[in-house]
Amino acid sequence: MGEVGRQNVHQVAKMTGEKQDKYREWVWRMGWQEMKILKPDLVIVLFVDPEVCRQNILNKQKRKYTDGKNMDQAEEDFNHQMRAAEEYRRMINENPGWWVGVECCQNGKMLPPEEIFKMVWEKVERKN
């Protein structure tokens, strides 16, 4: 997905209503049409239950760019995280076959990496 897709999702999550639509259209046009940034053939979004995600964030090592905090600005804002997840799901619904999702949790627990890898690989093989 690269920066065009990821940044678009997080910026749109900060907006509401018509501003979201205008921004989406502008970013896609600027990134892939005017600037000719390579458009990926497939975008795979890994979904993690909010509670599991939050715990993973809290368990992260402190990073230099967070000024000694466990979380960066986007990670601190749980509502932003939920809006971004909604935007990822919207992108999947509006772009079937190009954007696909993988549910990485079951019954509130993270699936083993091998299972997640298998699901991701199935999405890649279906695209080919």
Mean pLDDT for the stretch of residues 67-86: 83
Per-residue pLDDT of 12-28, as tens digits, reads 888 888 888 888 888 87
Whether 56 and 110 share a structural domain = yes
Whether 114 and 125 share a structural domain = yes
Return all residues near 123 (Cβ < 8 A) that are at least 6 apart.
Answer: 42, 44, 100, 102
For residues 117 and 59, is the Cβ–Cβ distance under 8 A?
no
Give yes or no for residue 97 having a pLDDT over 50: yes
User: What's residue 48's pLDDT?
Assistant: 94
User: How many domains is the chain built from?
Assistant: 2
Mean pLDDT for the stretch of residues 4-10: 70
Both structure tokens of 93: 């619904």
Rounded distance between C-alpha atoms, residue 87 and residue 20, angstroms: 10
Whether 103 and 116 share a structural domain = yes
Whether 45 and 34 share a structural domain = no
The pairing of strands 105-106 and 109-110 is antiparallel
User: What's residue 73's pLDDT?
Assistant: 77
Confidence of residue 118 (pLDDT cuts 50, 70, 90): very high
Whether 53 and 95 share a structural domain = yes
Parent domain of 3:
1-39
